[in-house]
Structure 1
């Protein structure tokens, strides 16, 4: 591929939509209506005109209608323009689930700038990497959140990140508390002479960093059309209605929160309730108070809510759909949910930052499919199981889950070779996730290409072992990794969280798994009981940390 074009006002190298997809495919996306000549600002203006007073988003302290959000975004865009932000510049936003996040995203869109969401749990090393990697000019952050001094961290980053020129504090108590600009001051500035310059919906719109369970996060560059088409197709699959209220505990600074809690309600005429910090009690109260109808969480969050002693049969009467993403749905969780929340339909969803939804079950599917599979590709998308050579494998054979469709990113930021390496010769993007497909196109994700244990030359995918461990009555959660072994290379090591009052021995694990028909070679040879798993902000287990711990355990026993 020839040298990629630079976005105006920046040194951002990334493929254009035409280069990524080809002119014919781009034209087809527009003809099919999955891509549209409409920006975020266009959608907000439509919402403000048709339902100006309808709530668009509510957080723990207040709410914004579409019209209020648009007005604030325009004022903030004028303030950002005075700070020197122009088309193509990157604007980082490190906020918890606060409604200001959406105002900032819209303000950047008014200018044609590119939003870089940053997880609120990230600290100096990770934040510095993202700011440098994206070449961020302006960053938004709380002055302080949950005891951490973000303002002080960004003081250090201003000195060490060459591109960073300004830091804007959100919900800062005093204008004299810091030398940084305050969001409130930018919103109060006049905007009468502001002239919007939104980018094309095919230009870079957001850089979302992968959650980085096994390596440093990569910046996934999406246009508004790649993200927007994902929201549109997901809303159609869920039969999303204009009266629906989405409950969004996932971070708005990642694709799940951005799509589920902002774009789907905006596109479909609904609204969203975002939650600043997850707990079973606060989640239940928020869902009931705002009569939320559609919920998307990892299975672990539903498990916590169901295990909470105050959740009883018939609770959460407003909820009609609960989408479980990020991990398989254990059969016992489906059974428990059916007993406590019989009116709620559980749906499995599998996706990745690079292309949003890959497969999912829809409300019309038989409920058991959400236990047995991770769904199938939505209309307008295509999924294949491919081998190492990128060629499609026969049905039932395990291989890489590869995707093709309108929601795929333009590319990894600054990683042209790694982007190109994703694609098979016929344009499918390989995920690095292992799976099998049945005759009806339903996919079951079985693990990661690197999430395996190689025991004596035998490749063992850990997903099956983890599912069977979680089915044990004493186990609340489980993760399996390889532990170094001088004889076999690796042995299976299981990390488990026990249910309250439970106990578990390695022999009991062995008996349970052999009783379930698992081959002896796959049975864990080391058991480690832990109080908590290392998790990403999206609730995924950080296998890299568990691998490191397993190596330490192996060294200590030599």
Structure 2
């Protein structure tokens, strides 16, 4: 299996002159700090950190982790909304040679603890409360024997972030330098969990060099540049909030403006006050901004670049983004956790191309469409999308069988998505990964939702499909078979689901059946459920 990549193929001329260490995420941010120095790196709640200050604080976080006994190769969990401490925790842990495992802020206790156990996390940096949820309480009854320490963002209380940072005061700078110098470009920098058709989330392993190579090139392609103000509404626990978000912004000298939760009026205010120029997000983001502008007459003309995808993009929306919001350049694209970003449209592409395709392969990535026998298909013929290049994951955590199934002996990642390539090699998705649907920008995997629903004491079997929703694009609908002698209502099941899974996964409707349609092999026939929903 060819999982290796060739570092000599990629160069970073705008960073290399200041790089004094092997190319890793923290080393590249250090180089950016030497280039951009006093320029604003992060703005949050009216407070600005320069690139120099951000890097100094990242080193202080690394010293604190070293003082707490963090070793190279260990894992640190991060469970918090978008905030500057999230960035510091990541850089601090990675300076020490550790890897991070981001947790979805919508997770319930059982979901978060499962990820922490499987990732072998030894420390957890987390928020205390967010959107009315007490995160400490969610883990109160969860068994986490490998977790040595929990660090709470915000405040100076014992166990809090400030108290944690103070613990590294006696670590000499030379120790931080030694730790950073020992981090290998080929070392694993993070484990991002993504679900599959088996229902159990799988940990995607990615190296430092892969992230820098892929997203430095992506940022240049997206025309992200020094001086841009980058409003990050995509969650940091997601590739596009983390790697295509604050990492890309800092590499290019742009200012990160994190937004913990998207709210249209607040987003419009930030765009106006901070002169936001760069804004990625799903189509719903721009639809709500258009409504906000129409309602309140706000001047959002500072917006220069929009990057969208994750759902069908209507041509009329692209036209309105240009005409009413004044956005100069709009990109759409295609990516997945196992390969970060795969394809993007290009600057100057017409509206029809941006709305109707995902663009062509980004630098360093190959794409082809194949038939069931693996034969490469000609232009315009639909087949499974395969990708290869330095962005492809190193594998799934502790799961060589799943890795071998996903990546063939020639290094091609089998995405499971169906699409076509035209004569220009622009990609168009015609069918998504088997059964997956997207609710408000979040990937939902029916098998994972079904697994949790079947843990309800009254549920015997479950099948979940997507149905259209005007606001969120798609939402889940559950078909349930109850255990013998049991009775339940839809409201009861939905209320239980809200207590036991992230809100975006919760089915919005429930239909009870005496049996589910199955094929000869015993598999549920979702097509029949969709046809009779």
Report the CA distance between 1:494 and its aligned residue: 7.4
* Number of the residue aligned with 1:186: 164
* Number of the residue aligned with 1:29: 9
Report the CA distance between 1:367 and its aligned residue: 2.5
Matched, 1:75 2:60: yes
Structure-2 change in CA distance of 1:162 and 1:79 (3 Å): same
- Secondary structure of 1:126's counterpart equals helix
Matched, 1:265 2:249: yes
* Number of the residue aligned with 1:520: none
Structure-2 change in CA distance of 1:383 and 1:116 (3 Å): same
Matched, 1:365 2:344: no
- Secondary structure of 1:105's counterpart equals helix
Matched, 1:497 2:469: yes
Identify the match of residue 226 of structure 1 among 180, 192, 210. 210
> 2-side partners of 1:446 and 1:497: how far apart?
20
Q: Please list the CA deviations of residues 201-260 of structure 1 after superposition, one character each: whole Å capped at 9, or x if unmatched.
A: 110011111266983321111111111112111112122221212111010111101123
Give the CA RMSD over aligned residues.
3.5
Asked if the contact 2:99–2:189 (Cα under 8 Å) also holds between the matched residues in 1, the reply is yes
Q: Please list the CA deviations of residues 484-506 of structure 1 after superposition, one character each: whole Å capped at 9, or x if unmatched.
A: xxxxxxxx98734358xxxxxxx
Q: Which moved more, 1:53-62 or 1:282-291?
A: 53-62
Structure-2 change in CA distance of 1:90 and 1:357 (3 Å): same
Q: Please list the CA deviations of residues 361-412 of structure 1 after superposition, one character each: whole Å capped at 9, or x if unmatched.
A: 1112222201111111022211111223333122212111111111111111
Task: Give the TM-score, by structure 2 length.
Answer: 0.78
Matches for 1:267-346 after TM superposition, within 5 Å = 267-308=251-292, 310=294, 315-346=299-330
- Secondary structure of 2:138's counterpart equals helix
Asked if the contact 1:401–1:433 (Cα under 8 Å) also holds between the matched residues in 2, the reply is yes
> 2-side partners of 1:379 and 1:364: how far apart?
18
Q: Please list the CA deviations of residues 272-299 of structure 1 after superposition, one character each: whole Å capped at 9, or x if unmatched.
A: 1111111111111111211111110011
Asked if the contact 1:143–1:172 (Cα under 8 Å) also holds between the matched residues in 2, the reply is no
Matched, 1:436 2:424: no
Asked if the contact 1:312–1:340 (Cα under 8 Å) also holds between the matched residues in 2, the reply is no
> 1-side partners of 2:368 and 2:14: how far apart?
21
- Secondary structure of 1:130's counterpart equals helix
* Number of the residue aligned with 2:385: 401
* Number of the residue aligned with 2:460: none
> 2-side partners of 1:67 and 1:423: how far apart?
41
* Number of the residue aligned with 1:55: 40
* Number of the residue aligned with 1:134: 119
Matched, 1:103 2:88: yes
Identify the match of residue 66 of structure 1 among 27, 47, 51. 51
- Secondary structure of 1:20's counterpart equals coil
Identify the match of residue 162 of structure 1 among 125, 141, 145. 145
* Number of the residue aligned with 1:202: 186
Structure-2 change in CA distance of 1:541 and 1:552 (3 Å): farther
Asked if the contact 1:92–1:117 (Cα under 8 Å) also holds between the matched residues in 2, the reply is yes
* Number of the residue aligned with 1:123: 108
Report the CA distance between 1:550 and its aligned residue: 6.0
> 2-side partners of 1:221 and 1:150: how far apart?
26
* Number of the residue aligned with 2:77: 92
- Secondary structure of 2:343's counterpart equals strand
Report the CA distance between 1:541 and its aligned residue: 7.4
Asked if the contact 1:395–1:437 (Cα under 8 Å) also holds between the matched residues in 2, the reply is yes
> 1-side partners of 2:297 and 2:330: how far apart?
16
Q: Please list the CA deviations of residues 52-110 of structure 1 after superposition, one character each: whole Å capped at 9, or x if unmatched.
A: 22211223463322222222222222222222211001000111011101111111112
Structure-2 change in CA distance of 1:233 and 1:65 (3 Å): same
> 1-side partners of 2:197 and 2:317: how far apart?
24
Matches for 1:518-557 after TM superposition, within 5 Å = 545=507, 549=510
Asked if the contact 2:156–2:162 (Cα under 8 Å) also holds between the matched residues in 1, the reply is no
* Number of the residue aligned with 1:355: 339
- Secondary structure of 1:58's counterpart equals strand
Structure-2 change in CA distance of 1:39 and 1:309 (3 Å): closer
Structure-2 change in CA distance of 1:494 and 1:135 (3 Å): closer
Matched, 1:113 2:98: yes
> 2-side partners of 1:340 and 1:384: how far apart?
37
Asked if the contact 1:246–1:260 (Cα under 8 Å) also holds between the matched residues in 2, the reply is no
Question: Structure 1 regions of 5+ residues with no counterpart?
Answer: 2-18, 176-180, 453-461, 467-478, 482-491, 500-533
> 1-side partners of 2:67 and 2:220: how far apart?
40
Asked if the contact 2:15–2:32 (Cα under 8 Å) also holds between the matched residues in 1, the reply is no
Asked if the contact 1:60–1:274 (Cα under 8 Å) also holds between the matched residues in 2, the reply is no
Question: Structure 2 regions of 5+ residues with no counterpart?
Answer: 17-21, 447-463, 472-496, 517-528
